[in-house]
Amino acid sequence: MNDAPLVLGLPLLHAAGRDLLSARYRVVELEDPAQVEERLPEADALYCYPPLTVSARMIERAGRLKVIAAAGSGVDHIDLQAAADAGIAVTHAVGAGALSVAEHAIGHMLCLAKRLVEIDRALREGRFGPREAEAYEELSGRTLAIVGFGAIGRALARIAARGFEMDVIAVTRSGTPVDDPNVRRTLPLRDALAAADVVSVHVPLMPSTRGLIGREELRRMKPTAWLIDTSRGGVVDSAALHDMLVAGRLAGAGLDVFEPEPPPVDAPLLALPNVVVSPHCAGITRAAYRRLSLSAANDIDQVLRGMRPAGLVVPPPRSPSIAHPGELP
């Protein structure tokens, strides 16, 4: 195995991916991103996820590298253009964490509807309440707008429509109807925001989606609506969101992502009682990590064997140009 291709990266998220790769390749897992960068010129394949950022400078030094496999759906930590210019394939884990993220988004909705965080804290502090019907809501019958209808969006639509009898709107760039039995309507973003009781954001962070939900978009939402963001920090304008919540123009928000991460302890949004937060953990479950690990390992294996994996973001040389995953269709 000493002459086998070298797969380098941060620790694989699950032993299943390690077992698949170690049967054919040398596998080196390092805890420190700086150590990964130091060994990169030796590597034929790179396995990565934040906090490892793959810059153009790193790619220039990676003379042997044939594939960069992201162990997740996001690729905003990889310089895609530099990889394309160097003829290095980039892959991501298509749909591997979708169910976990979708369930997490539902969890944030339930926390807001049932005020679970607030009443948990109150009870521990000796306050038994509130117990008035006006304090709590149901998800059933509410209108949910899903912004970005990839694998996560489809998983969320299924749970919301079948499990909670929500009226689901899919948001696409063009408004072309989505072919999904769990979707009632497909609308452009501005119309969906005005119609929804809950807006859940599921797009990757890239130049075209940075600030996608800004002050003007938030103003279009109902004052009784909730915003859920499990995508990436930077897609939603956090300052505008804070202002709208403080002014009573929005009822609440559930946030799993921030910019920067972690957010400072004095971040204004963290001080608001109608904001439920989590530490960018929506896709972190045992089942999801197994799927993510296997997806990335399979992608690496297929590229190194001259095949074309399903998760290509940047194809190898002589293939079509960059395709951005998860952007609004």
Active-site position among 108, 154, 202, 232: 232
Catalytic annotation on 280? Answer: yes
Catalytic annotation on 261? Answer: yes
Residue 240: the pLDDT is 99
Catalytic annotation on 14? Answer: no
Which residue intervals of the chain bear CATH 3.40.50.720?
6-96+286-314, 98-277
Cβ neighbours of residue 303 under 8 Å, at least 6 residues apart? 45, 66, 67, 89, 91, 309, 316
Residue 310: the pLDDT is 87
- Is residue 252 a contact partner of residue 109, using CB atoms and an 8 Å limit? no
Query: What is the spatial distance between Cα 18 and Cα 34, in angstroms, rounded to a whole number?
Result: 21
Active-site position among 38, 60, 138, 261: 261
For 117-147, how does the pLDDT look when each residue is reduced to its tens digit (9 = 90+)?
A: 999 999 999 999 999 988 999 999 999 999 9
Residue 1: the pLDDT is 62
Residue 326: the pLDDT is 45
For 231-264, how does the pLDDT look when each residue is reduced to its tens digit (9 = 90+)?
A: 999 999 999 999 999 999 999 999 999 999 999 9
In this structure, CATH architecture of domain 6-96+286-314: 3-Layer(aba) Sandwich (3.40)
CATH topology of domain 98-277: Rossmann fold (3.40.50)
- Is residue 218 a contact partner of residue 246, using CB atoms and an 8 Å limit? no
Residue 161: the pLDDT is 99
- Which among 66, 28, 17, 25 has a CA at the least distance from the CA of 44? 66
Residue 170: the pLDDT is 98
**Below-70 pLDDT ranges, the chain:** 1, 317-329
